């Protein structure tokens, strides 16, 4: 078994995956890992919406609805082509997990901390996917935050999507990772 440091250092965004279905049990395992993220006051401000098979059409239609707003008066054929491309985005992997920040009603909860916890949950999910032989990529962008996307998933007023995690079996070899040494990003205040 690889050390946690090895898993962290070797994880990469995998944007190209095979069409092979990912077993539900494996998706459940990586989501379970996500729920062990740190969170202030134990609020656990996250939820996950898993899309497989035709379930990905909800995301695809939402991508198309968001795109349609910006396309204006294009010729019918061109409009249809662009909307089909928008729908196809949801089918880039056999499973897509929408990670949602679902803030607590706890009076002690601070909005930015709830969001940070949801992001930490996504990192746990990505690390678990990698450790379990899956490829994953965390996708966001303007459509993820659009009200039409929120409506497509029936999110509450305070809830927000923090990303779509596309998951599957890797069909690419990622490049080696590069980081600025931690020593160049660290300030020590010592007595």
Q: What is the pLDDT of residues 121-155, one digit of tens each?
A: 999 999 999 999 999 999 999 999 999 999 999 99
The class that CATH gives domain 4-185 is alpha beta
- In this predicted structure, what is the pLDDT of residue 95? 98
**pLDDT tier at 1 (50, 70, 90 boundaries)?**
confident
Average pLDDT over residues 116-124: 98
- Checking if the pLDDT of 29 tops 80, the result is yes
- In this predicted structure, what is the pLDDT of residue 142? 94
Q: How far apart are CA 28 and CA 30, in angstroms?
A: 6
**pLDDT tier at 75 (50, 70, 90 boundaries)?**
confident
pTM: 0.94
Cβ count within 10 A of residue 62? 25
E-assigned strands of the chain?
46-52, 95-101, 135-139, 160-168
């Amino acid at each position: 078994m690889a050390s946690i440091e090895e898993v962290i250092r070797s994880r990469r965004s995998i944007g190209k995956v095979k069409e092979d279905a990912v077993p539900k049990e494996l998706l459940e395992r990586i989501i379970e890992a996500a729920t062990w993220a740190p969170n202030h006051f134990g609020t656990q401000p996250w939820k996950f919406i898993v899309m497989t098979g035709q379930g990905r059409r909800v995301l695809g239609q939402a991508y198309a609805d968001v795109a349609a707003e910006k396309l204006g008066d294009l010729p019918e054929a061109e409009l249809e082509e662009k909307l089909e491309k928008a729908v196809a985005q949801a089918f880039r992997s056999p499973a897509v997990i929408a990670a949602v920040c679902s803030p607590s009603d706890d009076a002690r909860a601070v909005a930015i901390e709830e969001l940070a916890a949801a992001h930490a949950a996504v990192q746990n999910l990505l690390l678990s996917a990698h450790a379990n032989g899956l490829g994953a990529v965390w996708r966001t962008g303007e459509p993820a935050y659009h009200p039409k996307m929120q409506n497509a998933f029936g999110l509450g007023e305070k809830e927000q999507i923090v990303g779509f995690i596309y998951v599957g079996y890797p069909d690419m070899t990622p490049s080696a990772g590069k980081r600025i040494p931690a020593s160049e990003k660290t300030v020590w205040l010592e007595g």
